[in-house]
Amino acid sequence: MNRPNPSSRSADRERADRIYYTLAALLGGAVILYFAVVPFVGANLAFHFYLMLWITMASGFNVSSGFSGYMPFGYVAFYGVGAFTTAILVKKLGFPVLLALPFSGLAGLVLALLFAPTLRLSGIYFAIVSLALAYICRLVITNMPEEMTGGSFGIQLGSQAEPVLSFYVMMATMMLALGTILWLSRSRLGKALRAVRDDAEAADMMGVNITRVRLYGWLIAAFFPAVCGGVEAWYTNIVDTETAFNTLITAKTVIYAIAGGLGTVSGPIVGALVMVWLDELIWRQFPLLNLLILGLATVLLVLFLPRGIVGTLLRWRPAWRRYVP
C-alpha cells in the first residue's frame, strides 16, 4: 500500500494552500493594478466603473446562490434601496456622500433582516417570493411622497459628482467584497453554508445551526448590492425607481455570476469580465439587438454551460479545486 503518511499529507496540504493563496494574491493584484491605473491612462472610466460594479454584484450574488443555495431573483431590491438611501440622505438630509454610503449598506442589511423569514423557503418558492418582494419595494418607493423620493423624476444629487473619487470608492467596495468571499470560502462559516446548501436537514443533524448560518450568508449577500446602489447613485448623480429597480440589474447579476461559475471566488470575476466585455462589443455593433443577445446568451448558458467557465474547468480537472480560489 502506497499511502501517504500523515507528515507528507500535511506537507501536501501546505503546498496546496500556498498555491491557493499565491493564485488569490496574483488575481487580486492583477485586478487592483488593472483598475487602479484606469483614471491615469485615460481609459474609459464609465466602462470600468460598471465592470467593477458587476464584479461586486455577481460576487455578492455568489454568496447567496453559490454558497447558500438561494437564487434571489429579486436581488435588485437591495441595490435599489441602497441607491435611494444614499440619494435621500445626501439630498434631503445633507449628509456627505462618503458618510451616506455605509448607511446604504446598513439599509441593505435591514432589508435582508426583513426578508429573513423567506429563508425557510427553498428552490423555486424562494425565487418567486424574492421577485415579488423586489416589485413590492419598487412600488412602495414609487408611491412614497414626492418630496422624499422625487416621484417619477427621481432624485438629482446636484453638485456632488466626483467621477474619479467615486470610481475609487467603487474599487474599494469591490476589493472588500472579494476579500470577504476569499475569507468566506476558507472559513468555517463558508463550510457550514455549503453543507446547508447541499442538504440542510443533514447539516442540522450534524450540529449546524442552519437558521443562523443562512442568515449570516444572506446578510453578506445583501450588503454589497446595497453599497453598489449607493455608489452608482453618486456616480451618475441621479436615482429614479425605473432604473434603480430595473429587473435587468438582477438579470445581469445572475447571468454574470453563473457565466463564471458559482461557488468559487474567481468565478464571478471571470464571468463579469468576459460578459461585460462581450456585452460592450455587441452593444457597439448592434445596439438594438443588445437585449435580445443578452437573453439568448442566458438560455445558451443554462443549456450548455450551467456550471460556468470556472466551474466547467474544475469539473474537467477536479484536482485543481484545491488550488483555484
Partner 1 sequence: MNAALEARDLIKRFGGLVALDGVQFAAAEGEVLGIIGVNGAGKTTLMNCLCGLYQPDEGEIRLAGEDVTGRTPHEIAARGVGRTFQVPRVFRRMSLIDNLLVPVLRRRATDRALIDQAETMLERMRLIDLRHNFAEELSGGQQKLLEMARMLMPDPRVVMLDEPFAGVHPTLCRFMIEQIEAMAAERKTVLLISHDLTSIYRLSHRVLALNQGRVIAEGGVEAIRGNPAVIEAYLGA
Partner 2 sequence: METLVIIGIVNGLIVGGVYALIGMSLTLLYGVLRVVNFAHGEFVIGGSFLAYVLFNTFGIPPLAALPIAAISFFGLGYVAYFLLIPRLARSDDPESMSFLMMYGLSIALAAFMLVLFEADSRSIDYSFTPISMKVGPVYVATARVVALGVTLVVAAGVSAFLFLTLPGKALRAAIMNREAIQIMGVDIVKLSAFAFALATGIAGITGVLVALVFPAFNAFSGPEYAIIGFIVVVLGGLGNPLGALAAGVFYGLAEQLATVFLPQAMAQIVGFALLVGTILVRNAGFGRWRVSR
207/287 with CB nearer partner 2:
287
Written as nine digits, the cell of 131 is: 421577485
Counting Cβ atoms within 10 Å, is residue 24 exposed (0-12), middle (13-18) or buried (19+)? buried
Residue 142 beta carbon to partner 2: minimum distance, rounded to whole angstroms: 7
Site for partner 2 in 61-100 (CB under 8 A): 69, 71, 73
Instruction: Name the binder of 243 from partner 2, partner 1, none, CB < 5-8 A by kind.
Output: none
> Under the criterion CB under 8 A, does residue 304 sit at the interface with partner 2?
yes
User: Binder to partner 2 among 187, 248, 281, 317 (CB under 8 A)?
Assistant: 248
User: Binder to partner 1 among 44, 122, 143, 209 (CB under 8 A)?
Assistant: 209
> Under the criterion CB under 8 A, does residue 307 sit at the interface with partner 2?
yes
106/278 with CB nearer partner 2:
278
> Under the criterion CB under 8 A, does residue 203 sit at the interface with partner 1?
yes
User: Binder to partner 2 among 16, 39, 109, 142 (CB under 8 A)?
Assistant: 142
Instruction: Name the binder of 164 from partner 1, partner 2, none, CB < 5-8 A by kind.
Output: none
Q: Which stretch binds partner 1 (CB under 8 A): 55-63, 199-207, 232-240, 283-291?
A: 199-207
92/315 with CB nearer partner 1:
315
Written as nine digits, the cell of 141 is: 418607493
206/281 with CB nearer partner 1:
206
Question: With contacts defined by CB under 8 A, how many residues of the chain interact with partner 1?
Answer: 29
Q: Which stretch binds partner 1 (CB under 8 A): 111-119, 177-185, 272-280, 316-324?
A: 316-324
143/211 with CB nearer partner 1:
211
10/122 with CB nearer partner 2:
122
User: Binder to partner 2 among 63, 89, 107, 131 (CB under 8 A)?
Assistant: 131
137/174 with CB nearer partner 2:
137
Cell numbers 438582477 correspond to: 250
